C-alpha cells in the first residue's frame, strides 16, 4: 500500500507546474468585525488581540503554506478606507484568489451595512472579471452565545444567508467562527487553504495509512501557522476531541519554547491523558531551517514506535519538498 502512495506522489510531481505562484487571500468586511483578531489568533498572538487598534488601510503578510506562497491581505474596514478600496479596485481587489468576508453577528444593527458592503465588493469583482470563492465568516459566534441565544442566532443567520443569496454570486460558503473557539478558526482556515493545494488528497491518504499502521483513532498534522494540513478521525467524537485539543497543545508547546524547555522537548514527545485517552504530541522537522510541523495522535494506549514515525515523516517530506 505504501508503495502505491509513493507511486502517486511521483506521478503527481510530474504533473505539477514548475513555478510556484503566489495566492492572494483577502480578508475584508466592516471595521470591528474581527479580521485582524482572526489572523493574529492563527499566529497564536493572543496577547496582541487584547490591545488591537483598527487596521490602517491594507496590511499584507506573506506566509508559506505547504511550500506555496500565500499573500494575506487584511483590508482595514473603517469607512474612509472602504471608500478608497472601492475607488481603486485594481489596487486592492485584483488577483484575489480567495475572499474571506467577516461579519460580526453580535452587532445586529450593523448587519444591513455589512450586507451592503458585501454587495459593493461583489461589484468590484465583476468589474475586474474575477470570481473568487467567498467564505463568509459569521464571526463572534462565541460559545456563550451559542448556549444562551441559539434560536435568535439561527434566525439571524437564516435571514442573512437569504439576503446574500439574492446576489446570485456563484460561490459563497459559510463558517461560524469565534476567537473564543480557536478550533472553529483553525478548521475554517485549514479547509480554505487546502482547497488551493492540489496535493492535499495525497497528504490525507498518507495520514490515514499512518493512523492505521500505528492503530490510532485520530491523527492531525498541523503547520506552524496552526493550520491543519491533513487529518484522520475514526468518528465524529474523535474529531471533536482532537480539534478541541489542538489549541491546547500548540499553546503548551509555545510556552515551553518561550521558557526554553523546548530544546529537550523537541526530541522527545508529550503524552497527555485527557478524557481517558492518550494524546501524543510530537514536533516533526521535515526540512532544515524550515518551520516545523506538529503531529497529534489519539490512542487507547500510549505505545508508539519511532520507526513508524520516521517512515511517515519521510513520506511527507517526499510529498512536500522533494
Ligand atoms: N466577542 C468576540 N469579540 C471578538 C471576536 N473577534 C474579535 N473580537 C473583538 O472585536 C474587536 C475588533 O477586532 P479587530 O480584529 O480589530 O477587527 P477588524 O475587523 O480587524 O477591524 P478593522 O481593522 O477596523 O477593519 C476587538 O475588540 C476584538 O477583541 C470574537 O470572536 N468574539
Ligand atoms: Mg483590523
Looking at the structure, tell me whether residues 174 and 207 fall in a common domain. Answer: no
The answer, yes or no, to whether any atom of ligand 1 lies below 6 A from the CB of 107, is no
Pocket test for ligand 1, best of 26, 36, 37 (most atoms within 8 A of CB): 37
Looking at the structure, tell me whether residues 128 and 222 fall in a common domain. Answer: no
2 found inside a domain: no
Give the per-residue pLDDT at 309.
Answer: 87
Instruction: Return the SS3 of 94.
Output: coil
**42-52 tens-digit pLDDT:** 888 888 988 99
d(CA 64, ligand 1 centre) in Å? 25
The answer, yes or no, to whether any atom of ligand 1 lies below 6 A from the CB of 28, is no
The answer, yes or no, to whether any atom of ligand 1 lies below 6 A from the CB of 52, is yes
Closest-CA residue, ligand 1 atom 12, reads 32
Looking at the structure, tell me whether residues 269 and 180 fall in a common domain. Answer: no
The answer, yes or no, to whether any atom of ligand 1 lies below 6 A from the CB of 33, is yes
13 found inside a domain: no
Name the domain boundary from 194, 218, 245: 194
Give the per-residue pLDDT at 205.
Answer: 92
296 found inside a domain: yes
**189-218 tens-digit pLDDT:** 999 999 888 888 889 999 999 999 999 999
Looking at the structure, tell me whether residues 34 and 132 fall in a common domain. Answer: yes
Atom of ligand 1 nearest to the CA of 55: 23
The answer, yes or no, to whether any atom of ligand 1 lies below 6 A from the CB of 54, is yes
**Domain encompassing residue 215:** 200-320
Looking at the structure, tell me whether residues 111 and 212 fall in a common domain. Answer: no
5 found inside a domain: no
The answer, yes or no, to whether any atom of ligand 1 lies below 6 A from the CB of 36, is yes
The answer, yes or no, to whether any atom of ligand 1 lies below 6 A from the CB of 104, is no
Name the domain boundary from 176, 194, 212: 194
Name the domain boundary from 175, 194, 213: 194
Which three cell numbers mark 34? 474581527
12 found inside a domain: no
Looking at the structure, tell me whether residues 56 and 178 fall in a common domain. Answer: yes
d(CA 147, ligand 1 centre) in Å? 21
158 found inside a domain: yes
The answer, yes or no, to whether any atom of ligand 1 lies below 6 A from the CB of 34, is yes
Q: What is the mean pLDDT of the chain?
A: 88
d(CA 55, ligand 2 centre) in Å? 4
Looking at the structure, tell me whether residues 316 and 227 fall in a common domain. Answer: yes
The answer, yes or no, to whether any atom of ligand 1 lies below 6 A from the CB of 316, is no
Pairwise CA distance, residues 58 & 53, whole Å = 14
The answer, yes or no, to whether any atom of ligand 1 lies below 6 A from the CB of 219, is no
d(CA 78, ligand 1 centre) in Å? 12
**153-166 tens-digit pLDDT:** 999 999 999 999 99
The pTM of this model reads 0.86
Which helix or strand (DSSP H or E) is residue 184 part of?
helix 182-194
Burial of 120: CB neighbours in 10 Å, binned 0-12, 13-18, 19+ = middle
Looking at the structure, tell me whether residues 190 and 204 fall in a common domain. Answer: no
Pocket test for ligand 1, best of 31, 32, 140 (most atoms within 8 A of CB): 32
Residues of the chain with pLDDT under 50: 18-19, 265-267
306: left (phi over 0), alpha (psi -120 to 50) or beta: alpha
Least distant ligand from the CA of 49: 1
The answer, yes or no, to whether any atom of ligand 1 lies below 6 A from the CB of 77, is yes
46 found inside a domain: yes
How many domains, the chain?
Answer: 2
Give DSSP secondary structure letters for 63-85: EEETTEEEEEEEE--SHHHHHHH
The CATH number of the domain holding residue 286 is 3.30.450.190
Looking at the structure, tell me whether residues 107 and 131 fall in a common domain. Answer: yes
Give the per-residue pLDDT at 246.
Answer: 85
Strand 172-176 versus strand 134-139 pairing type: parallel
The CATH number of the domain holding residue 150 is 3.40.50.300
Contact of 118 with 99, CB cutoff 8 Å = no
Give the per-residue pLDDT at 133.
Answer: 97
Amino acid at each position: 500500500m505504501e508503495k502505491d502512495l509513493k507511486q502517486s506522489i511521483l506521478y503527481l510531481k510530474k504533473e505539477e507546474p514548475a513555478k510556484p505562484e503566489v495566492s492572494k487571500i483577502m480578508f475584508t468586511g466592516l471595521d470591528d468585525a474581527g479580521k485582524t483578531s482572526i489572523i493574529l489568533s492563527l499566529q497564536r498572538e493572543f496577547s496582541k488581540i487584547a490591545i488591537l487598534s483598527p487596521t490602517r488601510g491594507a496590511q499584507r503578510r506573506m506566509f508559506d503554506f505547504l511550500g506555496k506562497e500565500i499573500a494575506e491581505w487584511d483590508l482595514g474596514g473603517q469607512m474612509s478606507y472602504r471608500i478608497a478600496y472601492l475607488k481603486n479596485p485594481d489596487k486592492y481587489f485584483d488577483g484575489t484568489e480567495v475572499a474571506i468576508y467577516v461579519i460580526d453577528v453580535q452587532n445586529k444593527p450593523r448587519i444591513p451595512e455589512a450586507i451592503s458592503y458585501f454587495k459593493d465588493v461583489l461589484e468590484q469583482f465583476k468589474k475586474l472579471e474575477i470570481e473568487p470563492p467567498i467564505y463568509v465568516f459569521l464571526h463572534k459566534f462565541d460559545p456563550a452565545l451559542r448556549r444562551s441565544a441559539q434560536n435568535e442566532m439561527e434566525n439571524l443567520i437564516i435571514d442573512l444567508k437569504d439576503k446574500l443569496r439574492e446576489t446570485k454570486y456563484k460561490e459563497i460558503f459559510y463558517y461560524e467562527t469565534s476567537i473564543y473557539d480557536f478550533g472553529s478558526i483553525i478548521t475554517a482556515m485549514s479547509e480554505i487553504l487546502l482547497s488551493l493545494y492540489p496535493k492535499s488528497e495525497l497528504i490525507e491518504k498518507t495520514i490515514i495509512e499512518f493512523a492505521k499502521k500505528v492503530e490510532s483513532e485520530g491523527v492531525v498534522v498541523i503547520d506552524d501557522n496552526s493550520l491543519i494540513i491533513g487529518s484522520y478521525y475514526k468518528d465524529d467524537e474523535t474529531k471533536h476531541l482532537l480539534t478541541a485539543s489542538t489549541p491546547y497543545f500548540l499553546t503548551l508547546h509555545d510556552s515551553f519554547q518561550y521558557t526554553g524547555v523546548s530544546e529537550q522537548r523537541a526530541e522527545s514527545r508529550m503524552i497527555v491523558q485527557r478524557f481517558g485517552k492518550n494524546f501524543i504530541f510530537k514536533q516533526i522537522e521535515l526540512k532544515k531551517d524550515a518551520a516545523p510541523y506538529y503531529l497529534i495522535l489519539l490512542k487507547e494506549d500510549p505505545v508508539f514506535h519511532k520507526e513508524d514515525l520516521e517512515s511517515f515523516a519521510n513520506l511527507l517530506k517526499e510529498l512536500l519538498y522533494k
